[in-house]
A and B are shown apart, each in its own frame.
Chain A
Amino acid sequence: MVRNIVILGGNSHPKLVDSLCNILGVPACNRVLGRFECGESRCEIKDSVRGKDVYIIQTGFGGNGAKLNDHFMDLCIMISACKTGSARRVTAVLPLFPYSRQPDLPYHKAGAPLYKTPSVDSSKKDYTFESVPATPGPGLPKSAGLTNGTELTSRLKSTLTNGTGPSAAANGKSTGEGYFPVNGVDDTKGANGVNGANGVNGVNGVNGVNGYVNGINGHRGHSSSVSSQSAKYTTHDYENVSLITSFQARPGYKQWVAQAGTLVANLLTCAGADHVITMDLHDPQVQGFFDVPVDNLYGRPLLKRYITQNIPDYKSAIIVSPDAGGAKRATAIADSLEMDFALIHKERRPTKITDRQNASMMLVGNVADRVCILLDDIVDTGNTLTRAAKLLKREGATKIYALLTHGVFSGDAISRINASALDKVIVTNSVPQDEHKALLGPKLEVLDISPIFGEAIRRVHHGESISVLFNFD
């Protein structure tokens, strides 16, 4: 039983709120939190918070009948209500920090999804790691999941014949133009305009590959084939396709995407948050956006415990980081468990000027006949992860685990993972996982973070050091 503390839960993760209250031995604060019919948030805090230490639990995840931005506004309104209600201190607890991921991969650096243009040897019967499994789009009948690429290969062929020719022709003129979408953005990936810019791809002839690749304008008009159907939808299925297709940056201006990380940090402090507790920030630099203390907890101990307790003969397994950015995270665990480490590297150095969009993935390290453990902080659309899994399988991995802190599984991630070479996906409940669990079944395993957060809240409340949580095993 902790005194003088108020746990106020948002609507984004009621289960976590319940278990935190259980751990701390206090009832959750009585509140009304909903929405007026006009769409404005409605918040009434029923219990007194005067002079109390208030912890507001809201994760950065859209769900439970509201969108991500609704939850975020709710959080700000709750913070502000507690502040005006004379709370002594208000701490925002955000297990998953919203807008923390500065869009990198699979986004283009200008914010667009990055469609890899693999160098495919179309005569190869084996499936390639570069190809992305076809995923159904909204309103389309679901296609059967891909099984090891036999079907894919035929698709690749058809796309190659259909797609590349016209796209190469159409895009030839844009090669020198870099980012400016002179081609008019294509309705298929529509995506964002930036793609149109990748005109470069079409030229290489080898590209085109599966439906996802930037066949760019080439795919337009092939509405009958399966591959062009899947080409209509991308890892990031933007809502308003007609709007996107009409968008073009002003010639001579390189378009860019706003980064909301600093803004979100400022908004939280402006609402009145005195302290922020979060977990496994995608960029630890986000901590520096705040003027108030930020405690960035680690999911690492949980993941480590899972490895040691649930993976048979883990010492002979190998830890793999799916991209260079996560290498530090992965090596930290590999070191402390004295395991081997491998890295998947995305080669993006241009070999020739027309080739600069061509990235290839390569594996640094040997995974043949070994169990692989992919480690990352977040799975969103699952693009990076499933592609990494394919590469590992191709390199001879026997079994592939993926351990992640935040399982967002947005867009078509679930079907993508179901169709992938991943044998097991382990995530924490930093966002609600019930729905994902129902869809992924035994493939998904969920670790409970509430003990970590409960302990952090208890220690912060009592003014004890929480650094012990950072290196506890």
Chain B
Amino acid sequence: MSAEMANEVKLISGRSHPELSDKIAKRLGIEVARTISLNYSNQETSFTVGESVRDEDVFIIQSTATGDVNEGLMELLIIISACRTASARRITAVIPNFPYARQDKKDKSRAPISARLVANMLQTAGANHIVTVDLHASQIQGFFSVPVDNLYAEPSFLRYIRENFNPEDCVIVSPDAGGAKRATSIADHLKTAFALIHKERPRPNVVGRMVLVGSVEDKVAILVDDMADTCGTLVKAAAVLKENGAKSVLALVTHGILSGNAIETLNGSCLSALIVTNTVPLGDKVERCPKLRVIDISPTIAEAIRRTHNGESVSYLFTHAPV
């Protein structure tokens, strides 16, 4: 095979987040490949390929739509396996919001390590490379034996804070001990103060008592986390911060999963704003929640795709957000 042979980026979009795929395609100046996913009436997923991927560099963009995680995952696996059957040169799964990232350890007897299962499934289907954003635990990369590029929303967040606030007035707050590293990193970059909320969590999706470590008095408290699911934690944390004298409280979160009654919870909370990236399809949530603001993450992902395809280093993106 000659080296001059065309080896182009093929962008395949799953059904979960076509808007993101369109933005990435636009940014890369290419078209989304002609494929279509459907469900048969017996609920089996079917994937039709409408153009050749032979010897191409395939990038499959599939986020996980809230409530339809398994559908999206199966669809992704079928697309990957179809591309492998169709002799793609390399298959990169771009999963902005990695599914089952929270089920990453055996915290109880016989608890499933579903994140590892997903990792194995992706490799079994034939993925050669994974691109994701803000993995819940970066150790998940260790579940893979193929390269995983874990991109960060942090540069985008830093820019947002610098553009909208005076860093001197802010305190970066981590809503739990697990996110302390993420929050301190942002605080260090902005050279601001840092605080932490310690919480007791009796059961999943239920929030227990919260204690603030550090001072937020007369400051803008910025909660930083990787995902906002039911928003129980965030809203409770916001209340604690308000009680401790914060001027206003906002939250910067990478993955706005916002399941269940999250929108109602947010609307009734003392959070002044929730800023999320568009890694997860938000649907009509932006209309339903005036506090919700969205940062576009597609430039970062598009740049990572471009660099991966051209064999350039991706690490520049860990500290810089493309404009």
Partner-B contacts on A (CB < 8 A)? 36-46, 48-49, 61-62, 67-70, 72-73, 76-78, 80-82, 84-85, 98-99, 103, 110-111, 192-194, 235-240, 243-244, 247-250, 253, 255-260, 262-263, 266-267, 270-271, 380-381, 408, 410-412
The number of chain B residues touching the other chain, given as a range, is 35 or more
Q: Is the CB of A62 within 8 A of B43?
A: yes
Q: Is the CB of A258 within 8 A of B47?
A: yes
Q: Is the CB of A67 within 8 A of B110?
A: no
CB-contact partner of B44 in A73, A99, A235, under 8 A: A99
Q: Is the CB of A258 within 8 A of B79?
A: yes
Q: Nearest chain-A residue to B65 (Cβ)?
A: A39
B4 contacts the other chain (Cβ, under 8 Å)?
no
Shortest C-beta distance, A137 to chain B (Å), equals 12
Q: Is the CB of A271 within 8 A of B117?
A: yes
Complex Cα distance A271/B113, Å?
11
Shortest C-beta distance, A405 to chain B (Å), equals 15
Main secondary structure of the interface of B (DSSP, over half): loop
Partner-A contacts on B (CB < 8 A)? 15, 34, 36, 38-52, 64-71, 73-75, 77-79, 81-82, 85, 99-100, 102-103, 106, 108-114, 116-117, 120-121, 123-125, 204-205, 229-230, 257, 259-260
Complex Cα distance A154/B140, Å?
64
Q: Is the CB of A38 within 8 A of B66?
A: yes
Q: Is the CB of B41 within 8 A of A43?
A: no
Given A38-B257, A253-B50, is A80 in contact with B42 using a C-beta cutoff of 8 Å? no
Q: Is the CB of B44 within 8 A of A192?
A: no
Shortest C-beta distance, A388 to chain B (Å), equals 19
Given A49-B110, A98-B44, A249-B34, is A40 in contact with B79 using a C-beta cutoff of 8 Å? no
Given A193-B48, A267-B77, A267-B124, is A39 in contact with B117 using a C-beta cutoff of 8 Å? no
Q: Which residues of B contact A40 (CB under 8 A)?
A: 69-70, 99-100, 102-103, 114
10 pairs of A and B residues whose beta carbons are closest in the complex: A411-B41, A258-B82, A249-B50, A81-B112, A85-B110, A68-B43, A62-B43, A250-B51, A37-B260, A39-B69
Main secondary structure of the interface of A (DSSP, over half): loop
Q: Is the CB of A410 within 8 A of B110?
A: no
Complex Cα distance A48/B110, Å?
8
Q: Which residues of B contact A77 (CB under 8 A)?
A: 112, 114, 117
Complex Cα distance A414/B85, Å?
36
Q: Is the CB of B66 within 8 A of A39?
A: yes
Q: Is the CB of B67 within 8 A of A38?
A: yes
Given A38-B69, A41-B70, A69-B71, is A270 in contact with B38 using a C-beta cutoff of 8 Å? no
Q: Nearest chain-B residue to A269 (Cβ)?
A: B124
Query: Which of the listed residues A76, A194, A271 has the most CB atoms from chain B within 10 Å of its own CB?
Result: A76
Complex Cα distance A256/B51, Å?
9
Query: Which of the listed residues A253, A258, A270, A381 has the most CB atoms from chain B within 10 Å of its own CB?
Result: A258
Q: Which residues of A contact B43 (CB under 8 A)?
A: 62, 67-69, 410
Q: Is the CB of B81 within 8 A of A192?
A: no
Q: Which residues of B contact A248 (CB under 8 A)?
A: 34, 50
Q: Which residues of B contact A49 (CB under 8 A)?
A: 110
Q: Is the CB of B114 within 8 A of A38?
A: no
Shortest C-beta distance, A251 to chain B (Å), equals 9
Query: Which of the listed residues B40, B77, B260 has the most CB atoms from chain A within 10 Å of its own CB?
Result: B40
Q: Can you give 6 A-B contacts (C-beta < 8 A)?
A: A36-B204, A36-B205, A38-B69, A69-B43, A76-B121, A80-B113
